[in-house]
């Protein structure tokens, strides 16, 4: 039980976290992101027309390129609040996401209190409530905030289930709650499957170790984890059945390139981009333009070309794209051939150096996109104020990451193979991303909060 002093401390931290998020909302006054309109249209069409899809030239067609949880969330919030709050109903979304972010911090603190110590739990709550990086996305109409909540809920529930197993008990509600968290993560984003994989492996492994009778370990652990699998996979069934009946494809998640069946993704172009893309700033003026704006070859970094001849070839291909703002199958094949040529010339760079640089940039960049700072943050003469803020944010981010890494190295993190395994799986996935956006590492932070607090408070970890 918490003491009255501890409860007051937690209330003060939660109040400070709420004020930080409301201040960021008031200062940023965020507008729709590019993806927000697509999410909202999908949800509206389902609620009002019974079709989960997008309109093309006035024709409403089913789609599966986005998973349904966030579109339904946005459309439901609009349905509930647009009549009483016509010009500001989106603020209700931000307020709900603020509550979700605060709840996630409390769940992580409860996990730390059970698995580590009360002082560590206080630090976890402080780090979560006062973290500007997760707080900024409470005021952003994208999936990140709810995805972070799903990770926090999964960690809390898995820790509760494993603590019960270690004491010789079973907590079926905890296994079911962990499964629900994994389902929420997968219905928000396709990479939510990584949370499912990490929790499934961790629950199976640690419950097997907790069962005293060696001959029955595997059977007992499988029985305990079966409820987790059921709770995680059952919510995907309606979506999977709908995709089979509508498109005749087995698609429990969205596709890698977020295209509908029959649509042709520009695989060659994206593979070419992976031969030079290593950080966010070098891609926003090129990859982010696809389908909307022209691409200026002068904005591409020097590493995008191996020779003057290759630069001329690339310039000609981009000129063809610029004329139509689309990539034809023939042009995409030429990008694929150029990518193959560059990969043959620099295989180590393509398969090792560039993927590592992309992930490193996503983890340690000052997270300029969340605070509307110039992506070229190091250009002091153009914007000294923004550059100073970016440096401070970068140092803060580095502090979080350094503390967390030290705790893992010192074996202070509870259930390290499960929590660390999730981070490792996500890093491996991020090596394949051609958009090196910082927001794709936001789901690290629930585990970073726990590990950083464990580094600060000298207490022994459990569950290792």
Q: Is the pLDDT of residue 64 over 70?
A: yes
Q: Is the pLDDT of residue 364 over 60?
A: yes
Report pLDDT for 342.
Answer: 96
- Sign for the CA dihedral angle at 411, 413, 417, 420 comes to negative
pLDDT in tens, 6-43: 889 999 999 999 999 999 988 876 555 678 888 999 99
Residues 17, 103 contacting (CB under 8 angstroms): no
Q: Is the pLDDT of residue 127 over 70?
A: yes
Report pLDDT for 223.
Answer: 73
For 96-119, what is the mean pLDDT?
A: 96
pLDDT in tens, 259-289: 777 778 888 998 999 999 888 887 787 777 7
Q: Lowest mean pLDDT of 178-187, 209-218, 322-331, 337-346, name the range.
A: 209-218
Task: Quickly state the pLDDT bin for 217 (edges 50, 70, 90).
Answer: low
pLDDT in tens, 387-423: 999 999 999 999 999 999 999 999 999 999 999 999 9
Residues 289, 34 contacting (CB under 8 angstroms): no
Q: Lowest mean pLDDT of 126-130, 297-301, 424-428, 444-448, name the range.
A: 297-301
3-state secondary structure 333-393: HHHHHHHHHHHHHCHHHHHHHHHHHHHHHHHHCCCHHHHCCCCCCCCCCCCHHHHHHHHHH
Q: Is the pLDDT of residue 50 over 70?
A: yes
Report pLDDT for 112.
Answer: 96
Task: Quickly state the pLDDT bin for 256 (edges 50, 70, 90).
Answer: confident
Report pLDDT for 287.
Answer: 73
Report pLDDT for 325.
Answer: 87
Measure the CA–CA gap between 207 and 203, rounded to whole angstroms.
Answer: 6
DSSP run (H or E) holding 446 = helix 445-456
Closest CA to 200 of 218, 174, 226, 220: 226
For 121-126, what is the mean pLDDT?
A: 97
Residues 369, 397 contacting (CB under 8 angstroms): no
Q: Please, what is the average pLDDT of the chain? A: 90
Residues 181, 196 contacting (CB under 8 angstroms): no
Residues 202, 421 contacting (CB under 8 angstroms): yes
Task: Quickly state the pLDDT bin for 1 (edges 50, 70, 90).
Answer: low
Q: How many CB atoms lie within 10 A of CB 433?
A: 17
Report pLDDT for 211.
Answer: 64
For 352-364, what is the mean pLDDT?
A: 94
Q: Is the pLDDT of residue 459 over 70?
A: no
The fraction of the chain above a pLDDT of 70, given in percent, is 94
Report pLDDT for 313.
Answer: 95
Higher pLDDT pick, 331 / 462: 331
Token pair belonging to 333: 């094949």
Higher pLDDT pick, 221 / 352: 352
Instruction: For residue 158, count CB atoms less than 10 angstroms from its CB and return exposed for 0-12, middle for 13-18, buried for 19 or more.
Output: buried
Most confident of 118-132, 275-289, 299-313: 118-132
Q: Is the pLDDT of residue 168 over 70?
A: yes
Task: Quickly state the pLDDT bin for 458 (edges 50, 70, 90).
Answer: confident
pLDDT in tens, 242-252: 999 999 999 99
Report pLDDT for 86.
Answer: 76
């Amino acid at each position: 039980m918490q003491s009255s002093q501890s409860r007051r401390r937690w209330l003060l931290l939660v109040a400070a976290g709420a004020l930080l998020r409301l201040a960021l909302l008031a200062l940023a006054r965020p507008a729709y992101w590019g993806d927000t309109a697509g999410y909202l249209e999908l949800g509206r069409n389902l609620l009002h027309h019974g079709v989960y899809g997008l309109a093309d030239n006035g024709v409403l067609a089913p789609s599966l390129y986005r998973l349904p949880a966030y579109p339904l969330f946005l459309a439901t919030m609009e349905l509930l609040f647009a009549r009483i709050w016509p010009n500001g109903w989106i603020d209700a979304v931000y307020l709900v996401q603020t509550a979700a972010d605060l709840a996630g911090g409390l769940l992580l603190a409860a996990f730390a209190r059970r698995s580590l110590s009360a002082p560590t739990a206080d630090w976890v709550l402080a780090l979560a409530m006062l973290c500007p990086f997760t707080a900024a996305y409470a005021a952003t109409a994208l999936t990140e905030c709810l995805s972070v909540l799903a990770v926090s809920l999964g960690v809390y529930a898995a820790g509760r289930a494993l603590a019960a197993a270690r004491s010789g008990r079973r907590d079926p509600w905890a296994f079911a709650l962990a499964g629900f968290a994994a389902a929420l993560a997968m219905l928000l984003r396709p990479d939510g499957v990584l949370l499912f994989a990490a929790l499934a492996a961790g629950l199976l492994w640690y419950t097997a170790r907790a069962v005293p009778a060696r001959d029955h370990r595997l059977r007992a652990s499988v029985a305990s984890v079966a409820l987790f699998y059921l709770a995680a996979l059952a919510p995907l069934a309606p979506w999977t059945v709908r995709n089979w009946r509508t498109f005749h494809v087995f698609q429990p998640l969205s596709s890698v390139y977020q295209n509908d069946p029959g649509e042709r993704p520009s695989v060659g172009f994206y593979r070419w981009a992976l031969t030079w893309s290593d950080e966010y700033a070098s891609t926003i003026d090129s990859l982010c333009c696809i389908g909307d704006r022209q691409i200026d070859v002068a904005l591409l970094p020097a590493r995008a070309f191996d020779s003057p001849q290759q630069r001329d070839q690339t310039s000609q291909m981009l000129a063809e794209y610029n004329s139509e703002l689309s990539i034809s199958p023939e042009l995409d094949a030429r990008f694929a051939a150029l990518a193959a040529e560059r990969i043959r010339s620099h295989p180590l760079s393509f398969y090792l150096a560039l993927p590592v640089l992309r992930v490193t940039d996503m983890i340690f960049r000052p997270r300029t996109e969340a605070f509307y700072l110039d992506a070229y943050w190091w250009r002091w003469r153009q914007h000294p104020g923004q550059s100073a803020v970016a440096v401070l944010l970068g140092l803060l981010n580095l502090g979080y990451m350094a503390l967390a890494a030290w705790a893992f190295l010192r074996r202070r993190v509870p259930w390290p193979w499960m929590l660390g395994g999730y981070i490792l799986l996500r890093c491996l996935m991020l090596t394949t991303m051609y958009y090196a956006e910082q927001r794709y590492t936001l789901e690290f932070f629930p585990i970073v909060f726990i590990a950083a607090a464990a580094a600060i408070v000298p207490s022994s970890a459990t569950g290792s």
